[in-house]
Amino acid sequence: MRAIWNGTTLAESDDTVVVEGNHYFPADSVDPRVLCFSNHRTHCHWKGEARYHSLLVGGELNPDAAWYYPEPTDAAAQIRGRIAFWKGVQVVE
């Protein structure tokens, strides 16, 4: 699977975990050069607290377009150490 935004591959891996229709990529498969700090956080009742990264590609910013669960609940342990994308990021085979 590949995550692509603004013509750039953000992540590529044969080892994604799909939860609620979202592909969670291993963190080490994500290009760290495209990730920017974000203060944004949300809470999921069964996965725990999500933290976000913004994406910076080709001079364009996509705020809070990647998320991860640094300490997921036991029910969501399979997404520990993984990052998912949204906000126009295409995930393709």
Q: How do residues 26-68 score in pLDDT, each as one tens digit?
A: 999 999 999 999 999 999 999 999 999 999 999 999 999 999 9
At residue 20 the predicted structure's pLDDT band, cuts being 50, 70 and 90, is: very high
Average pLDDT of the chain to the nearest whole number? 98
Structure tokens at 31: 């290009």
Q: Tell me the CATH number for domain 2-92.
A: 2.170.150.40
Residue indicated by tokens 């990647």? 66
Give residue limits of the domains in the chain.
2-92
What string of DSSP letters covers 18-82? Answer: EETTEEEEEGGGB-GGGEEEEEEEEEETTTEEEEEEEEEETTEEEEEEEEE-SS--GGGGGGTTE
- Give pTM, 2 decimals: 0.96
| Beta-carbon-side half-sphere exposure of residue 17 (alpha carbons within 13 Å) | 13
- What is the rounded average pLDDT of the residues 63-92? 98
